[in-house]
Amino acid sequence: MGRERTIWNWYGGMPVQAVEWFGTQREFLRLITTTLALRQGDRVVDLGCGGGLHLPALREAVGPHGHVLGLDFSPRMAAKAAARAAAWENVEVRQADMTTVELEPEAWDGALASFSISATRDVAGAVANIHRALRPGGRLFAPDMHLVARGLGAPVTAAFGLVYRLLAGWTGVDVLETVRARFGSAEVVNRSGVPLATLPSFAPVLMITATKRPGHQP
């Protein structure tokens, strides 16, 4: 774990302009809040919150009476996020491992995991922890890597996978199939939030959504 934490600490020390462009684009922030279907007073957790890019949008969606929790494995990232959220009493940030952190069971209305599940050493453990924390009807939005080599794009996807493995310790476990196995079903949406009927042959990044079904036993 030391190597991965060092990598994310290094990333967290980069200039803001170099790492925040995509995560703060208005269209993506709108997609996060609409896909999670957040309402005033909701409780939402941002797993792998990084420097807190999405905390302002999440806080706006749940309002002053809701609660936002940001978690990050990297102490440096968590410190950045905490500084960003310092003015809001209902936004909390913790340095924690999403695969082992103890979240109140069935107490969260939404969970955001933006490009973070695939970067863990235990993808199944992270997804199980999220599922356990969500209330029945709670939603997960997980934009993440989908490095399954197939079709004409297989060589490029395989190359992406090798780089990701070297840089972030990717284990090769597919997030989409893991979410489907735990939640019973999952959808992939486009940039407008519309579910895709089929996956493109070359899709190294997917925007995954899932809802915790009442009574579902994985």
Q: By the 8 A CB rule, do 182 and 128 touch?
A: yes
**Contacting residues for 107 by C-beta, under 8 A, at least 6 apart:** 43, 133, 135
pLDDT over 60 (residue 147): yes
On the 0-12 / 13-18 / 19+ scale of CB atoms within 10 A, 90 is: middle
Structure tokens at 90: 């209902």
Asked if residue 178 has pLDDT above 80, the reply is yes
Say if domain 2-211 classifies as CATH 3.40.50.150: yes
Task: Give strand ranges (E) for the chain.
Answer: 43-47, 67-72, 91-95, 108-112, 134-145, 187-189, 205-211
Nearest 5°: phi and psi at 157? Answer: -60, -40
Phi, psi of 188 (to 5 degrees): -115, 130
> How far is the C-alpha of 100 from the C-alpha of 48, rounded, in Å?
13
pLDDT over 60 at 159, yes or no: yes
Most confident among 130-139, 189-198, 206-215 (mean pLDDT): 130-139
Q: For residue 47, give Cα distances in angstroms to 116, 148, 155, 159.
A: 7, 23, 31, 27
60-100 pLDDT per residue, tens: 999 999 999 999 999 999 999 999 999 999 999 999 999 99
Residue spans per domain, the chain: 2-211
pLDDT of residue 17 exceeding 60, the answer is: no
Global pTM value:
0.83
Q: Dihedral angle at the C-alpha atoms of 107, 29, 188, 172, nearest 10 degrees? A: -80
